[in-house]
Structure 1
Amino acid sequence: MSESGMSFSRRDVILTTAGGVSVAGLSGNAAATDRVEVNVGFDNAAGQAAATNAATEVKRQFAFDAMTIRLPLEAAENLAGNPNVRYVEENGTMRALDQTTPYGVEITDADVAIDDGNTGDGVSIAVLDTGIDAQHETLEENLGEGWATDDAACTTDCGGGPFGGGNDIDECLEEWDDDNDHGTHCAGTAAAADNGAGVLGVAPDATLHAVKVLQCDGSGSFDDIAAGIEWSADQGHDVQSMSLGADSDSDVVSDALEYAADKGVVMVAAAGNSGPCTDCVGFPARHPEVIAVSATDENDDLADFSSTGPEVELAAPGVDTLSTIPRDDYDEFSGTSMACPHVSGAAATLIADGTTDREAVRAELKEAADDIDLEENEQGDGRLNVAAAVDSDDDDDDEDDDDGEEAESVSVVTGDATEVGETTATLTGEVTELDGVDDADIGFEYGESGGDLPNAVDAGTVSDADAFDATVDGLDADTEYEFRAVAETPEDDDEGAVLAFTTDEEEDDGGDSAPVIDGFDVTDDSNPQWTRHTVDWAVSDEDGGLDSVTSEQLEGGTVVDSVTSNVSGDSADGSHDLESRGTSVDEVRLTVTDDAGTETTETQGV
C-alpha cells in the first residue's frame, strides 16, 4: 500500500469510494482460486472490458456503467487496482426493515385529501420489497405490471413468518407474488383501493407495481436492489417506495438511485429500526436523492425503534399500523417500513394534483409537514400532512372576501437548478395554485449560501398553475448559491423552499500536458514457483499535477498482478514489487496518470 493508504495493490483490501469491503470480509477463509460475487463500477470502455475479461460469469449488466460478476478472488483483487475501475464491492444484501403495522390515514389528513378528490389517480408507485399479493381484495384493482429478479422470484417452500422467513403460501400467482407479507403490507398503506373492503390507502387510486427484489426471508442482494430501481425507472414509474435497508452503503445501489433521479423518480425509504439512537439512518434512506422517513405513533411520539439522524426529512405513522397481507387478510405491523409508504402515497397524491418535478414534490411535502415538537433529527421538517401538501384541509379553501368574491390565493414551490456552469445557472419553480386572480408575477431570489438572498431575477407572469424558469449569470465559479421561487398577486404572495447549487470549477485555459515516464527499469527475480519483477520508475508532469503510478504484470494481455502508488507534484520516483504464482508473464506495463485523468503508458517484454 502507498504512503497515503489510498492506492490499490495485489496485497491491499478491495476498497470502494463509499466505505468498501475487504477481501477478507468478502471471502472469509477462501482460497485465492475461490469465486466471489462482486459489483463493479467502471469509468470507460477499458474498465468495462477489464471487468468482462476478469469474469468467469457476468450475472448482470446495468445501464449506468456497472455490472455484477463472479470471478476468482485473486482476479477481483487485480481488478480493484485497475485505474479504469471506480469500485469493486462485495454483492452484499439488504433486508426488509421489519417490525410490526399501520393506522395513519387519519392522523396525516390523507382522508381529508381523498374527500377533496386527491386520490393519486394516474400516478404509479413502485413498491421495492417482497412482492405484492396478486389477488388481494383491496389491492387487485390497483395493480399494474410487476417484476421480480431471478433470485427473489416467489416461492412456496419458505415458511417461518413475515420477518423470520416466508409466509408459506400454497401458490405463487405471479413471479412477483408476495411470499413474505412485508411488501403487501406496505402496498396497502400506500394505495389500498377505496372499494368498501378492508383498509383505505393514502392514495387509493394510484397504480401499484410490485418490484420484487427481496426474497421470502426478507433479504436481497445489492445488485437485485439496483436492478429493481433500474427496471422501475425505465418503466417511467413516478414514485419508488423502499422499506428496506442496510447499515453499509453500496456503490451499485447509489448508481441506480442517481440513475432513477435523473429520470425524475421520487424516491422514499425507511430510515431504519436501529433506535434509540441519534445518528443511525440506514442506506438507501441516507442517500441525498432519497426522502428518509422516521416512525411515530398515534400520539405523535417518536417510535422507540426508529432510526434518527440529520438525513431524516419527514416522520410518519409506523407503530401498530393496520394494512393488507396475503390472502385477503389484514394485520398490524410496526417499523419505519410502515412509515415509508405513507409518504410514498402522499407523493403520488401530490403528483396527481399537478406538482410533477421530483424536487418540488419533496419540497412541498416538507413545507406542509406538521411540527410535532420532536427534535429535527427525529422528525425532519415534521410529521406528514397529506391534505396540507395539496392545499386541502378541514376549512373551506375557497373563503370569500368581504364583497362575497373568492379571495386571491397563490402557492409556489422551488425546483432544481439546471444547466449549471461556471458563472450561470437556470433556476426552476412551479406555481401549484392560482385562484381568484388572472395572473401572478413570478421570479427568484438568490445569493451565496450562508447569507441573505439579496439578488432577484424576474421570470414574467403566469395565468395558471404552471412551471417556470429564469437564467442568472455573473456568478462566481466553484461557489455554492441558495435560491427560492417567489410568486405575487395584488393581495397574496408565496415563496418556495430555499435550495442550493454549486457552480462549476473554472477551467484551466492553459491546457493540460500529458505526464512523462522518465525512467522504467525492470529486474527479473523469478523462480520456478513465483514470477517476480521489481519495477524502478521515475515520472514527471510539467503542470505539476501527478496523481498515480501503476505497475502491472501481464500474461497474454491479462493483468495478473498490479501495484499503484499515489504521487503528486511535478516529479516522483519509486519502485514496485510484482509477483504472481503459476503464471507465464510476458510483459510488464507502467502507467502514470495526472489529476486530469491523462495517462501515459509504456510496456516492456520480459
Structure 2
Amino acid sequence: MSREHITRRSILRGVGAGVAGATLAGQAAASDGPNDEYVVGVYPDRGLEQARKAADAVRRELDFGSIGRAVAGRFSENAIEGLENNPNVRYVEPNGLMWALGQETPYGIEQVDADLAIDDGETGAGVSVAIIDTGIDAAHETLAENLGEGYATADAACTTSCGSGPFGGGNDIDDCLEEWDDDNDHGTHCAGTAGAADDGTGVLGVAPDVTLHAVKALQCDGGGTLDDIAAGIQWSADQGHDVQNMSLGSDTDSDVIRDAVQYADERGVVMVAAAGNDGPCSDCVGYPAAYDEVIAVSATDENDDLADFSSTGPEVDIAAPGVDVLSTVPRDDYAEFSGTSMACPHVAGAAATLIAAGTDPTDVRDELTAAADDIGLDDNEQGTGRLNVADALEIEDDEDDDDEDDDDEEPVDSEPVVDVFSVERSSSGPWSNADVNWEVSDEDGALESVTTELLDGSADLDSESSSVDGSSASGEHELRSRDDPDTVRLTVVDESGSEVTETADY
C-alpha cells in the first residue's frame, strides 16, 4: 500500500460499524527543535546549579531521582561548549523533536482475538493506560466514560489555531475542552484502539474498561520536544499509571528520553512503543521502541503480511495490526489510519488486560510474546509473532471447545443400510420361488445378521438368515413355498440391536 500524504476522511457518526479513512504523513526521523534549545543532563547530586546558571532561559527541569536530573532551556554556544566539558554534566543534546508516527489506516480486534477475551470478561477494568501523544478527545462518544485525569505540557496544550507542520497542521477543532484535548487526531485514534468502550457506539477497543489518560506531549502538528515527551513519561509514572502507549519516536537516541524511560521502568510501568515507519528497511527500529525497557511493536496487515512501511530489527518484540485500522478521531468521528502507531495500542491494551487479570507487570512482556502467533515472518519483522490476547490469557475459542466437546462425546451408533435388494420370482409346479440378492453396510463396522422372508400377509411361509460382520456384506437367499406369497421382506441387524427392514412385492 502506498503512503499518501493527503487527508481522506469520511464521517462515521454515532454508529457501531462502518469505514472511514484518513492519512497523516508520518516519519520516524528526528528533526531539530528551536536552534538554541538544549537539554543538559546532570548527576543526581551535582551539576544542577551550574546548568541553571549557564542557561539564558530555563524551560523545564526534570528530576529522575537516582538516575539524574535535566535542565531544558536556551543556551548560548559558549555555554554549551563549557557544559560539554563540565565533569558534572552527563550529556548535552539539542532539544529536538519526536513525531507522532505516521498512519495510513482495524479489523485488528478480532485478528488478535481481543474479542474472545472481552467475551470472557477480560476487559482491563481497574488498569490505567497513558496515551502519550497529541491528546485525547475530551468528549468522544465512545471514549468519554473511560477518561481519567489528563496532562499537557505548556507547549503542547490544545490549540484551535494550529500552524502548519510536517503533517499539515492540526484537525481544526472549534474549541479545546481541556488542555489535553486532541487538536491533531493521532492520540484519539490510538486511545480508541487501546480502550474504546463496549457501549454499542462506534468502535470497540482491545481493553474497553481501562481508564485512559491523555498525556499531551505532542503539539497539534504531531511533533513534540524531547523534554516535553520526557516530562509526559515522568508525569505518567508519578501518577502510578500501569501502561504507557508511545506511538511516537525518532531514529535518533536521546539521553533525556532514556532517562525518562528508565525512571518509569523503575516504577513498574509497562511501556509499549511503535517500532517506526522507516520501512522497508532492516535494523531500523526507532526510539524509544529500541530501548530494552520498552516493548517494540511492528505493523502487519489484515493478511498477516508485514506492512511495507514498518520498521524492523532485532529490537522488535511483537507484531500487531497496523494497516487500515478503524478507530476514533475528534469529534464523535471515526477514521482508518495506518502506521506502527496504530499497531502499538493493540499491544498496550493487551498489556492492560493481562495486568487486570492478575499478571505481574514484570511478566507482561514474556506472557504476550510467548502467546503470539507465529505468522511466518522473520524474527526481526514479527518478534515472536503477531499478538494474540486470548492465548496470552489462556482463553480458548468457543468453537474449538465445541469441537473438543464433540470429540469427547460418545459416538452415536449408525443404523445399518440396505444397499441392494433385488428379487427374482419364478414358479415350478406347486412351488413359488424367490431368489433374493442383497448387499448391506454399516458405518460402525458392526453388522450382525441378514434375514429374508417369504410372506403371505403376516404368515411366514419361508425364511433364511445369514450371520455377517464388519462394515459391509452381500449374499443370495433362495426362498420357496407351496402357498401363494405376496411379499418378500429383508431385515438387517447390527450388534447394537438396530435394524432396518425393506419389503418387495412378490
TM-score where L is the length of structure 2:
0.71
Which residue of structure 1 lines up, in the alignment, with residue 351 of structure 2?
347
Q: Deviations over 1:10-56 (max 9, x none)?
A: xxxxxxxxxxx9xxx8997xxxxxxx211111124331121122122
Provide closer, same or farther for how the CA distance between residues 216 and 116 of structure 1 changes in structure 2, counting only shifts above 3 A. same
Amino acid at match of 1:191: G
Return the match for 2:303 from 279, 299, 303: 299
Return the match for 2:385 from 374, 378, 382: 382
Mapped partners of 1:161, 1:115: distance in 2: 42
Which residue of structure 1 lines up, in the alignment, with residue 52 of structure 2?
52
Q: Does 1:373 align with 2:376?
A: yes
Shift of 1:396: 4.0
Amino acid at match of 1:274: D
Q: Are the counterparts in 2 of residues 101 and 323 from structure 1 also a CA contact under 8 Å?
A: no
Mapped partners of 2:71, 2:34: distance in 1: 19
Matches within 5 A, 1:141-180: 141-158=145-162, 163-180=167-184
Mapped partners of 2:141, 2:165: distance in 1: 22
Q: Are the counterparts in 1 of residues 34 and 96 from structure 2 also a CA contact under 8 Å?
A: no
Mapped partners of 2:249, 2:168: distance in 1: 16
Residue ranges of structure 1 left out of the alignment (5+ in a row): 1-20, 29-35, 405-606
Q: Are the counterparts in 1 of residues 355 and 364 from structure 2 also a CA contact under 8 Å?
A: yes
Which residue of structure 1 lines up, in the alignment, with residue 198 of structure 2?
194
Q: Does 1:227 align with 2:231?
A: yes
Matches within 5 A, 1:249-260: 249-260=253-264
Shift of 1:336: 0.4
Amino acid at match of 2:336: E
Shift of 1:185: 0.4
Say which one has the larger Rg: 2
Q: Are the counterparts in 1 of residues 101 and 277 from structure 2 also a CA contact under 8 Å?
A: yes
Provide closer, same or farther for how the CA distance between residues 127 and 44 of structure 1 changes in structure 2, counting only shifts above 3 A. closer
Which residue of structure 1 lines up, in the alignment, with residue 41 of structure 2?
41
Which residue of structure 2 lines up, in the alignment, with residue 247 of structure 1?
251
Shift of 1:161: 9.8
Provide closer, same or farther for how the CA distance between residues 256 and 321 of structure 1 changes in structure 2, counting only shifts above 3 A. same
Mapped partners of 2:177, 2:34: distance in 1: 37
Provide closer, same or farther for how the CA distance between residues 27 and 76 of structure 1 changes in structure 2, counting only shifts above 3 A. farther
Mapped partners of 2:53, 2:165: distance in 1: 43
Q: Does 1:334 align with 2:338?
A: yes
Q: Are the counterparts in 2 of residues 131 and 179 from structure 1 also a CA contact under 8 Å?
A: yes
Mapped partners of 2:255, 2:298: distance in 1: 24
Higher helix share: 2
Alpha-carbon RMSD across the aligned residues, in angstroms, is: 2.1
Shift of 1:103: 2.3
Q: Are the counterparts in 1 of residues 245 and 345 from structure 2 also a CA contact under 8 Å?
A: yes
Provide closer, same or farther for how the CA distance between residues 137 and 159 of structure 1 changes in structure 2, counting only shifts above 3 A. farther
Residue ranges of structure 2 left out of the alignment (5+ in a row): 1-29, 410-506
Q: Which has the higher contact order (CA 8 A, sep 6+)?
A: 2
Which residue of structure 2 lines up, in the alignment, with residue 314 of structure 1?
318
Matches within 5 A, 1:117-128: 117-128=121-132
Name the SS for the 2:109 alignment partner.
coil
How many pairs align?
Answer: 371
Mapped partners of 2:243, 2:290: distance in 1: 17
Mapped partners of 2:45, 2:192: distance in 1: 44
Which residue of structure 2 lines up, in the alignment, with residue 137 of structure 1?
141
Return the match for 2:72 from 68, 83, 88: 68
Shift of 1:99: 1.8
Mapped partners of 1:367, 1:47: distance in 2: 44
Q: Deviations over 1:62-95 (max 9, x none)?
A: 1212221322210111011001110011100000
Name the SS for the 1:66 alignment partner.
strand
Q: Deviations over 1:397-451 (max 9, x none)?
A: 9x89x999xxxxxxxxxxxxxxxxxxxxxxxxxxxxxxxxxxxxxxxxxxxxxxx
Provide closer, same or farther for how the CA distance between residues 385 and 78 of structure 1 changes in structure 2, counting only shifts above 3 A. same
Mapped partners of 1:127, 1:143: distance in 2: 11
Mapped partners of 1:353, 1:393: distance in 2: 15
Name the SS for the 2:373 alignment partner.
coil
- Structure 1 runs, 4 residues or longer, greater than 4 Å off: 25-28, 159-162
Q: Does 1:101 align with 2:105?
A: yes
Amino acid at match of 1:229: I
Mapped partners of 1:345, 1:378: distance in 2: 21
Mapped partners of 1:75, 1:396: distance in 2: 68
Name the SS for the 1:256 alignment partner.
helix
Mapped partners of 1:67, 1:356: distance in 2: 34
Amino acid at match of 1:391: E
Amino acid at match of 2:48: Q
Amino acid at match of 2:364: V
Name the SS for the 1:106 alignment partner.
helix
Shift of 1:58: 1.9
